[in-house]
Amino acid sequence: MPRITLPDGSIKEFASPITARQVAEAIGPRLAQAALGCKIDGELRDLSTLIDRDCSLAIVTEKTRDKQADPDALMLIRHSAAHIMAEAIQRIVPEAQLVYGPPLATGFYYDIKFPDNRPLKEGDFAAVEAEMKKIIAEDRPFTRVDSSAPEGMSRLQGEGSKYKIDNAARAVIPKRAAELLNGLVSGHVAVTESDCPGAKLSFYYTGEPMPGVWNDLCRGPHVPSTGRIGAVKVMSLASSYWHGDENSDRLTRVYGTAFATQAELDAYLNQLDEAKKRDHRVIGKQLRLFHIDEMVGQGLVLWTPNGSIVRKELQNFIGSELKKQGYTEVFTPHIGSLDLYKTSGHFPYYKESQFPPIVERDALDRLADEGCSCAEVMRRVEGVSAHLASGINERTKAQTIAPDRVIPDEQLVSGFMLKPMNCPHHARIFASAPHSYRDMPVRLAEFGTVYRWEQSGELNGMTRVRGFTQDDAHLFCTEEQVPAEIQGCLELVKVIFKVLGMKDYRVRVGMRDPDSGKYTGTKESWDKAEAACLAAAESLGVPFSKEPGEAAFYGPKIDFVVKDVIGREWQLGTVQVDYNMAIRFDLSYIGPDNKPHRPVVIHRAPFGSMERFCGVLIEHFAGAFPTWLAPEQVRVLPISEKTADYARQVEQALRAAGVRVTLDETNERIQAKIKDAADWKVPYMVVVGPRDAEASQVSLRARGHMKDLGTMSLTGFVEAIKDEIATRGANTVVSRFV
């Protein structure tokens, strides 16, 4: 006698168990027709699911009540489309073995093992799509068949696909799956009912459950039949590893997408095209904002004059906010001695992600004369002196230097490193003078350029590079000052994001993994710092997630994450509490008790790096920077040469007021000049002809406005745009015309 609660709160009672489809039919035939699946107690299920107990039920259809595409419906459609694509691919390449094919937010993929002599190529896409469309046209039902775990497993063993056997094993005997896999594949091991009491495996047939009909081990759910998938497209190929392990089998990941209707697919593809136009790499080239040069090196950004203006304005802006918060500015070199990084612990612990050390030529010559192997050279470079080792060992219990790295002084090879972080330099600045509790916190800020050896496949425009400038600072504070300083860091980020109109960001709070003992610092300190991070994130009023285990070993952290135009997430700013650095560098301040105390260090870079931040900002504004940031703020467009003199006067007046202005003296018609200025996304165009010269006025056009704004006196415009720039867009010139 199931009592079923519907989304509107009404309750329907049935005499006997009933399928979700029958409930939909009982509500109305049109609903039943539109139904793609259902949600039972919030869980997405097949429409054919038999309901034999009290529950809440929502029928899932293409559209939600407000006519938006239903994300649950898209999940069903895409998961089903993944099956259809897999079947289509297996028709074309019968030896292809299926591994894993989940739905995604924008589509789906299927990881497939292709035979080496028959990989899937992009040229196959048309054929795959044609097969998919055939399967859709056949409108075959998706039919679920449940079996007991032993039965299902032996069936898969009969098929002989290790990937499916692995999937099934992970589902029913997760703890022993890895250990038993080989036995299961070879058939020496069977799964018995006692291994996994009550566990089930489900299969989905694309059609009636008969031999010869395509089917796959699958948890489901699916749409009722293949005909319910309105539009599909095979998007791209990529590689992946089985279980994400690079030492494991290499698979081909085939990406596709599916929608309820062709129109929605077209709209999505169109949106992708539009997004590509906003890509910072495209706009960066068009507007000459930056350049990455093959001859200079991969991942090394050249800031061209236009981009440099944007960066400089941002730095000035941050700098002015930092001043308000009591920061002091420092400058440090781009390299530091290996001893510095051995003390901080960066070298050689992170040597894989750093540029290799710089060693004096004489030392290398000497080692060559001695006939040292490369490995021996590295041993001597990475080694530490007994003196340095003992110093660190005495001072910290957290991280010590492995005894085999301590080598005699005469074997040591000293050298330098391009700095991977700014903090060691800043630590030494702190240590260079005595500090009293009265002058804490000490806030050292620097736009510090760091170099990291990112894997070549990871490099990406300005968002992932090998040399970048952090808007870095290190706050050396007392334990009690930590919460207020964290709060201050977040305030800064909030102000900056607000002025730039960036609303689409989220915050991750990285906390301890409760089961790990790798952390340094006392439990009490951690408790306080984590609470401070959470409180600060909460007061910021943005979505944040607690992420246990994501803290660094030296302290909890707060990360800011934004999405780029193609939906990839990039970490921008970070605020990290550090209990370790002060110990390693033996930093101290004198407390009110006239005794030395250990400061806590907060690393913070609210933008992360100027490169990544500007990249994201280019996409955020689609290159149309607000006036205060725009490389070119005003372009003066004389109607003809006859107004050239007045145009020059206008240009001079604006330049004298500190406005970045250019004059278009080309022999073009005004229409062409406007088009050109629009292409360069100049915020304001000043059109001047004889009428304007006569009246000492300007005719104004603002970017994004289809027609001109009207006229304004020259002096009035100069004041208005100065105001817009000075207020960073709070008072705009345009606002004076409405």
603 annotated active-site: yes
Sole residue written with tokens 């059609």: 207
Instruction: Out of 97, 157, 354, 470, pick the active-site residue.
Output: 470
Helix (H, G, I), strand (E, B) or coil at 658: coil
Q: How far is the CB of 679 from RNA (least distance, A)?
A: 7
Which window, 36-44, 332-340, 428-436, 702-710, contacts RNA (CB under 7 A)? Answer: 702-710
564 annotated active-site: no
Q: In the set 228, 452, 528, 660, which binds RNA (CB under 7 A)? A: 452
Binding to RNA (CB under 7 A) within 214-273 occurs at: 236-241, 244, 246, 250, 252-253
Q: How far is the CB of 688 from RNA (least distance, A)?
A: 7
Q: What span, in angstroms and rounded, lies between the C-alpha atoms of 617 and 307?
A: 11
DSSP state, 8? T
Q: What span, in angstroms and rounded, lies between the C-alpha atoms of 618 and 289?
A: 9
Q: Which residue, 207 or 573, has its beta carbon nearer to RNA?
A: 573
Q: How far is the CB of 165 from RNA (least distance, A)?
A: 21
Instruction: Out of 443, 557, 620, 681, pick the active-site residue.
Output: 557
Task: Give the count of residues interacting with RNA (CB under 7 A).
Answer: 74
Please state the three-class secondary structure of 136-182 as a single string: HHHCCEEEEEEEEHHHHHHHHHHHCCHHHHHHHHHHHCCCCHHHHHH
597 annotated active-site: no
Instruction: Out of 280, 425, 474, 673, pick the active-site residue.
Output: 474
Binding-residue pattern over the window 263 to 292 for RNA, x denoting contact by CB under 7 A: ------------------x---xx-----x
Q: What span, in angstroms and rounded, lies between the C-alpha atoms of 420 and 189?
A: 51
Q: Which residue, 29 or 549, has its beta carbon nearer to RNA?
A: 549
Binding to RNA (CB under 7 A) within 108-137 occurs at: 119, 121-122
Q: What span, in angstroms and rounded, lies between the C-alpha atoms of 599 and 604?
A: 16
Query: From the CB of residue 450, how many other CB atoms can be counted at a distance below 10 Å?
Result: 19
Confirm or reject binding of residue 3 to RNA (CB under 7 A).
Answer: no
Q: In the set 49, 167, 306, 699, which binds RNA (CB under 7 A)? A: 699
Binding to RNA (CB under 7 A) within 578-637 occurs at: none
Confirm or reject binding of residue 454 to RNA (CB under 7 A).
Answer: yes
452 annotated active-site: yes
Instruction: Out of 70, 111, 279, 472, pick the active-site residue.
Output: 472
Binding to RNA (CB under 7 A) within 654-683 occurs at: 666-672, 674-675, 678-679
245 annotated active-site: no
Binding to RNA (CB under 7 A) within 553-572 occurs at: 566, 568
DSSP annotation string for 23-58? HHHHH-HHHHHHEEEEEETTEEE-TTPEE-S-EEEE
Q: Which residue, 145 or 672, has its beta carbon nearer to RNA?
A: 672
Q: Which long-range contacts (CB under 8 A, 24 or more apart) does 238-247 make?
A: 240/111, 242/99, 242/111, 242/163
Q: Which residue, 29 or 704, has its beta carbon nearer to RNA?
A: 704
275 CB-near residues (< 8 Å, 6+ apart): 565, 566
Q: What span, in angstroms and rounded, lies between the C-alpha atoms of 162 and 388?
A: 53
41 annotated active-site: no
Q: Which residue, 666 or 715, has its beta carbon nearer to RNA?
A: 666
Q: Which residue, 64 or 455, has its beta carbon nearer to RNA?
A: 455
Which tokens in the block code for residue 71?
Answer: 């994300």
Count CA within 13 A, CB hemisphere, residue 129. Answer: 16
Instruction: Out of 423, 477, 489, 614, pick the active-site residue.
Output: 423
Q: Which residue, 200 or 563, has its beta carbon nearer to RNA?
A: 563
Residue length of the chain:
738
Q: How far is the CB of 168 from RNA (least distance, A)?
A: 21
470 annotated active-site: yes
The side-by-side arrangement of strands in the sheet containing 215-217 is: 142-148, 200-206, 215-217
Which window, 1-9, 263-271, 319-327, 457-465, contacts RNA (CB under 7 A)? Answer: 457-465
Query: From the CB of residue 72, how many other CB atoms can be counted at a distance below 10 Å?
Result: 18
User: Which residues are designated catalytic?
Assistant: 423, 452, 470, 472, 474, 557, 603
